């Protein structure tokens, strides 16, 4: 699957001021230390290419949800430090993303210099796709590159608005890889093609389930969303997560898949907890024997074995969503076991971003996957076959 949009390798960047919208929305701990820098690393090929071409490289990103307020907690300053180490060259950090100080710093740049702007979302106008704010960002450069796949499903000033004021716009290398990997796996998979879908809610994955249901050979359902399917089959699920208004949809999806010869897998056992407290008693039960008042928190060992065998002969695997509340050690075994099973399959493995990418990272299987998306919501939207505003705003190949 080839991206039809204009890409960075077709653009002359020499001596140009190039503003690159990156996705440096990285996880930070309480001491503002970066706990996973894979999103920064993913943008390095595009940044290095621009530096090598002698461009003046201006990077902009959001971090977290500061809701239009300046907040030290959401500053990109720690990212500037890490980026400097990864690039092995100085990175100048601006304390805003627009205004006189930024204009002055841009004016002082020499070919090959790198400048990182402060969090775009310190300005409410970013998420409002405000025209004036878009124009102020655009005034910093002559070329715009969108490298932030993770926000391509949003109509923001730095992903959509800015393109109206730029003569030259293009997609970066990561954006190209993301779109080609995700669209390619859905539109042209080597079979058998297995989709593993997890996470909390069926409603969040309706479009993906419908879109993939027509294309896959096997569907494996885990995570909190599995209990809606289990309840739809008539089983009691205690106090496990359920979406009552999704029961008919879940039943219909399962019946439709099976009528088309698609193999549909649900957990056969689960790890349950007496309460949501970390110290609560836990036990493993079959899905027919979930005790009243207990919570389903993870798939059980028999489900792990069933699901692992289901992916053994796969040639293409798409995984989006954890198998349980994997953030807690007691309920992480199902998700981590699936990460190992997917890694060990002789298949092209594509992992949707967000929690699934974090789970693969925790399992130590990052290098075993063919492709790990950097975008959670964006990956979902692309897998649903939906419109991506950040991508649509870029010009097509001439």
Catalytic residue among 150, 324, 354, 376: 354
Question: For residue 359, is it left (φ>0), alpha (ψ between -120 and 50) or beta?
Answer: alpha
Structure tokens that stand for 283 in this block: 């036990």
Helices (H), 152-225: 173-187, 206-213
User: Helices marked H in 215-246 — which ranges?
Assistant: 226-232
Which of 201, 215, 305, 315 is flagged as catalytic? 201
Mode of pairing for the β-strands spanning 17-21 and 143-146 = parallel
Contact residues for 306 (Cβ-Cβ < 8 A; gap 6+): 265, 268
Contacts of 227 (CB under 8 A, 6+ apart): 237, 240, 241, 242, 296
Q: Which runs of consecutive H residues, i.e. helices, occur in 64-165?
A: 77-87, 100-107, 131-138
Residue 161 annotated in active site: no
356, 205 in Cβ contact below 8 A? no
The H or E element that residue 286 is part of is strand 282-286
Q: Is the backbone of residue 236 left (phi > 0), alpha (psi -120 to 50) or beta?
A: beta
Instruction: Give the whole-angstrom CA distance, residue 1 versus residue 394.
Output: 18
**Structure token pair of residue 84:** 């400097």
- Residue closest to 202 by CA, chosen among 321, 377, 34: 321
Any catalytic annotation for residue 201? yes
Q: Please name every residue paired with 350 in a beta bridge, in sequence order, or none if there are none.
A: 318, 371
Catalytic residue list contains 348:
no
As a whole number of angstroms, the distance between CA 116 and CA 39 comes to 15
- Tokens linked to 393: 């705003």
Cβ distance 58 to 103 under 8 Å? no
Tell me the chain's radius of gyration from C-alpha atoms: 23
Catalytic residue status for 64: no
Going edge to edge, which strands form the sheet with 282-286?
282-286, 269-273, 295-299
Q: Which of 54, 184, 213, 377 is catalytic?
A: 377
**Which residue out of 5, 17, 39, 121 is catalytically annotated?**
39
Which active-site residues does the annotation give?
39, 201, 354, 377
């Amino acid at each position: 699957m080839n991206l039809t949009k204009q890409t960075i390798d077709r653009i002359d960047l020499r001596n140009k001021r190039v503003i690159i919208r990156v996705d440096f929305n990285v996880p930070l701990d309480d001491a503002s230390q970066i706990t996973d820098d894979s999103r920064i690393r993913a943008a390095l090929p595009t940044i290095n290419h621009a530096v090598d071409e002698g461009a003046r490289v201006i990077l902009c990103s959001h971090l977290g949800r500061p809701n239009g307020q300046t907040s030290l907690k959401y500053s990109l300053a720690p990212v500037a430090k890490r980026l400097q180490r990864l690039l092995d060259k100085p990175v100048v950090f601006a304390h805003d993303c627009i205004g006189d100080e930024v204009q002055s710093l841009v004016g002082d740049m020499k070919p090959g210099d790198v400048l990182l702007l402060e969090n775009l979302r310190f300005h409410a106008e970013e998420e409002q796709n405000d025209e004036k704010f878009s124009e102020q960002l655009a005034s910093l450069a002559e070329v715009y590159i969108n490298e932030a796949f993770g926000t391509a499903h949003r109509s923001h000033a730095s992903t959509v608005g800015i393109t109206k004021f730029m003569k030259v716009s293009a997609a970066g290398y990561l954006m190209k890889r993301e779109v080609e990997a995700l669209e390619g796996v859905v539109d042209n998979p080597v079979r058998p093609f297995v989709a593993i879908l997890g996470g909390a809610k069926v409603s969040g994955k309706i479009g993906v389930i419908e879109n993939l249901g027509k294309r896959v050979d096997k569907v494996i359902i885990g995570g909190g969303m599995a209990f809606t399917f289990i309840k739809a089959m008539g089983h009691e699920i205690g106090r496990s997560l359920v979406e009552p208004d999704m029961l008919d949809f879940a039943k219909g999806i399962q019946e439709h898949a099976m009528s088309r010869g698609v193999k549909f897998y649900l957990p056969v056992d689960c790890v349950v907890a007496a309460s949501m407290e970390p110290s609560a008693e836990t036990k493993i039960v079959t899905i027919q024997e979930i005790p009243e008042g207990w919570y389903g928190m993870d798939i059980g060992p028999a489900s792990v074995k069933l699901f692992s065998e289901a992916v053994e002969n796969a040639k293409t695997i798409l995984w989006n969503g954890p198998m349980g509340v994997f953030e807690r050690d007691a309920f992480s075994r199902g998700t981590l076991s699936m990460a190992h099973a997917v890694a060990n399959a002789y298949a092209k493995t594509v992992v949707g971003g967000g929690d699934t990418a974090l789970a693969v990272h925790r399992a130590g299987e990052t290098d075993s996957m063919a492709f790990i998306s950097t975008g959670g919501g964006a990956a979902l939207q692309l897998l649903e076959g939906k419109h991506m505003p950040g991508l649509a705003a870029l010009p097509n190949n001439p």
